[in-house]
Amino acid sequence: MPASADDVSGPTAAELLDFVRRVAADAETIASLPLDPDGRTWVPLEGPGGSEAWLIGWPPGTGTGWHDHADSIGAFTTAAGSLRELSLAARLPTDGWKTLELAEGIDRSRRLAAGQGRAFGRHHIHEVLNESDTEHAVSVHAYYPPLPRIRRYSRTGQVLRLEQVEHPEDWQ
Protein backbone atom coordinates (compact mmCIF):
# COMPACT_ATOMS: atom_id res chain seq x y z
CA MET A 1 0.00 0.00 0.00
CA PRO A 2 1.47 3.44 -0.90
CA ALA A 3 2.34 5.85 1.89
CA SER A 4 -0.15 8.62 2.56
CA ALA A 5 0.49 12.22 3.50
CA ASP A 6 -0.97 11.44 6.93
CA ASP A 7 1.54 8.61 7.52
CA VAL A 8 3.26 9.70 10.74
CA SER A 9 6.06 7.15 10.32
CA GLY A 10 7.64 9.10 7.45
CA PRO A 11 10.21 11.86 7.78
CA THR A 12 9.15 15.35 8.82
CA ALA A 13 9.84 18.47 6.77
CA ALA A 14 12.65 19.31 9.23
CA GLU A 15 14.21 15.87 8.70
CA LEU A 16 13.98 16.29 4.92
CA LEU A 17 15.66 19.69 5.23
CA ASP A 18 18.45 18.18 7.33
CA PHE A 19 18.95 15.48 4.69
CA VAL A 20 19.13 17.88 1.73
CA ARG A 21 21.56 20.12 3.64
CA ARG A 22 23.86 17.17 4.39
CA VAL A 23 23.83 16.00 0.76
CA ALA A 24 24.37 19.56 -0.51
CA ALA A 25 27.50 19.76 1.66
CA ASP A 26 28.91 16.55 0.12
CA ALA A 27 31.22 17.91 -2.60
CA GLU A 28 31.77 14.49 -4.18
CA THR A 29 28.04 13.86 -4.63
CA ILE A 30 27.47 17.35 -6.05
CA ALA A 31 30.39 16.98 -8.48
CA SER A 32 28.95 13.65 -9.71
CA LEU A 33 25.96 15.35 -11.38
CA PRO A 34 26.38 15.66 -15.15
CA LEU A 35 25.59 19.23 -16.20
CA ASP A 36 23.95 20.01 -19.54
CA PRO A 37 24.33 23.55 -20.91
CA ASP A 38 20.87 23.42 -22.50
CA GLY A 39 18.56 21.78 -19.99
CA ARG A 40 18.07 20.73 -16.40
CA THR A 41 19.59 17.42 -15.37
CA TRP A 42 18.60 15.24 -12.45
CA VAL A 43 19.71 12.11 -10.69
CA PRO A 44 17.60 10.23 -8.14
CA LEU A 45 19.02 9.86 -4.63
CA GLU A 46 18.09 7.55 -1.79
CA GLY A 47 16.08 9.75 0.56
CA PRO A 48 15.45 9.09 4.24
CA GLY A 49 12.51 7.02 5.47
CA GLY A 50 11.09 6.17 2.07
CA SER A 51 11.19 9.73 0.75
CA GLU A 52 11.89 10.64 -2.86
CA ALA A 53 15.07 12.67 -3.40
CA TRP A 54 16.79 14.29 -6.38
CA LEU A 55 20.02 16.04 -7.26
CA ILE A 56 19.17 18.69 -9.89
CA GLY A 57 21.39 20.78 -12.18
CA TRP A 58 20.11 24.13 -13.45
CA PRO A 59 21.76 25.78 -16.48
CA PRO A 60 21.78 29.59 -16.53
CA GLY A 61 18.34 31.08 -17.08
CA THR A 62 16.29 27.92 -16.38
CA GLY A 63 13.38 27.36 -14.03
CA THR A 64 10.53 25.08 -13.12
CA GLY A 65 7.52 27.22 -13.86
CA TRP A 66 4.77 27.49 -11.23
CA HIS A 67 3.93 24.09 -9.70
CA ASP A 68 3.10 22.24 -6.51
CA HIS A 69 3.89 18.79 -5.13
CA ALA A 70 0.30 17.87 -4.23
CA ASP A 71 0.08 16.02 -0.91
CA SER A 72 3.83 15.76 -0.32
CA ILE A 73 5.89 17.81 2.10
CA GLY A 74 9.37 18.70 0.92
CA ALA A 75 12.65 20.51 1.27
CA PHE A 76 15.42 21.72 -0.98
CA THR A 77 18.85 23.26 -0.57
CA THR A 78 21.06 25.01 -3.08
CA ALA A 79 24.40 23.18 -3.28
CA ALA A 80 26.16 25.38 -5.87
CA GLY A 81 25.30 28.69 -7.46
CA SER A 82 22.15 30.52 -6.45
CA LEU A 83 18.43 29.92 -6.93
CA ARG A 84 15.40 32.14 -6.45
CA GLU A 85 12.12 30.76 -5.16
CA LEU A 86 8.90 32.62 -5.89
CA SER A 87 6.00 31.34 -3.79
CA LEU A 88 2.53 32.18 -2.59
CA ALA A 89 1.87 32.88 1.08
CA ALA A 90 -1.72 31.66 0.97
CA ARG A 91 -3.57 28.42 1.49
CA LEU A 92 -5.19 27.59 -1.82
CA PRO A 93 -7.91 25.01 -2.48
CA THR A 94 -6.27 21.70 -3.30
CA ASP A 95 -8.62 20.37 -5.98
CA GLY A 96 -11.72 21.30 -7.92
CA TRP A 97 -10.55 24.50 -9.58
CA LYS A 98 -8.96 25.55 -12.86
CA THR A 99 -8.48 29.31 -12.38
CA LEU A 100 -7.99 31.44 -9.27
CA GLU A 101 -7.63 35.18 -8.85
CA LEU A 102 -4.93 35.74 -6.24
CA ALA A 103 -5.18 38.46 -3.61
CA GLU A 104 -2.59 41.23 -3.52
CA GLY A 105 0.31 40.81 -1.10
CA ILE A 106 0.66 37.02 -1.13
CA ASP A 107 3.76 36.86 -3.32
CA ARG A 108 7.02 35.89 -1.66
CA SER A 109 10.52 35.80 -3.11
CA ARG A 110 13.68 34.42 -1.56
CA ARG A 111 17.19 33.99 -2.87
CA LEU A 112 18.89 30.76 -1.81
CA ALA A 113 22.66 30.86 -2.17
CA ALA A 114 24.83 27.75 -1.82
CA GLY A 115 24.16 26.12 1.55
CA GLN A 116 20.75 27.74 2.00
CA GLY A 117 17.50 25.80 1.84
CA ARG A 118 13.93 25.60 2.99
CA ALA A 119 11.24 23.13 3.90
CA PHE A 120 7.60 23.40 2.85
CA GLY A 121 4.26 21.78 3.56
CA ARG A 122 1.64 20.17 1.37
CA HIS A 123 0.19 22.08 -1.58
CA HIS A 124 3.02 24.65 -1.55
CA ILE A 125 2.86 26.46 -4.90
CA HIS A 126 6.17 27.85 -6.10
CA GLU A 127 8.55 28.48 -8.96
CA VAL A 128 12.32 27.91 -8.71
CA LEU A 129 14.71 29.82 -11.00
CA ASN A 130 18.40 30.03 -11.79
CA GLU A 131 18.58 33.72 -12.67
CA SER A 132 22.30 33.69 -13.48
CA ASP A 133 23.31 34.45 -17.06
CA THR A 134 26.55 32.50 -16.76
CA GLU A 135 26.60 29.95 -13.91
CA HIS A 136 24.97 26.58 -13.34
CA ALA A 137 23.24 26.00 -10.03
CA VAL A 138 22.87 22.61 -8.33
CA SER A 139 20.29 21.72 -5.70
CA VAL A 140 19.11 18.77 -3.62
CA HIS A 141 15.37 18.05 -3.16
CA ALA A 142 13.42 15.56 -1.03
CA TYR A 143 9.69 14.83 -0.80
CA TYR A 144 7.51 12.62 1.39
CA PRO A 145 5.49 10.75 0.53
CA PRO A 146 7.12 10.17 -2.86
CA LEU A 147 5.48 12.54 -5.34
CA PRO A 148 2.05 11.24 -6.36
CA ARG A 149 1.68 14.07 -8.88
CA ILE A 150 2.89 17.54 -9.76
CA ARG A 151 0.39 20.17 -10.80
CA ARG A 152 1.71 22.83 -13.20
CA TYR A 153 0.25 26.31 -13.42
CA SER A 154 0.47 29.37 -15.63
CA ARG A 155 0.32 32.80 -14.10
CA THR A 156 -0.74 36.08 -15.67
CA GLY A 157 -0.71 38.92 -13.16
CA GLN A 158 -2.85 37.81 -10.24
CA VAL A 159 -4.51 34.94 -12.16
CA LEU A 160 -3.26 31.40 -11.55
CA ARG A 161 -4.47 28.70 -13.93
CA LEU A 162 -4.05 24.93 -13.62
CA GLU A 163 -2.51 23.77 -16.92
CA GLN A 164 -1.34 20.20 -16.44
CA VAL A 165 -1.15 17.35 -13.95
CA GLU A 166 1.93 15.12 -14.19
CA HIS A 167 2.40 11.70 -12.61
CA PRO A 168 5.67 9.89 -11.75
CA GLU A 169 5.83 8.10 -15.11
CA ASP A 170 5.98 11.52 -16.80
CA TRP A 171 9.30 12.55 -15.21
CA GLN A 172 11.14 9.35 -14.29
* Domain range list for the chain: 13-171
Block means of pLDDT (10 residues each) for the chain, 172 residues, are 56 98 98 94 96 97 95 96 96 87 95 97 94 97 94 96 91 66
pLDDT of residue 5: 46
Report how far residue 116's alpha carbon sits from residue 133's, in angstroms, rounded to the nearest whole number: 20
Q: What is the domain class of 13-171 according to CATH?
A: mainly beta
pLDDT of residue 1: 40
pLDDT of residue 92: 83
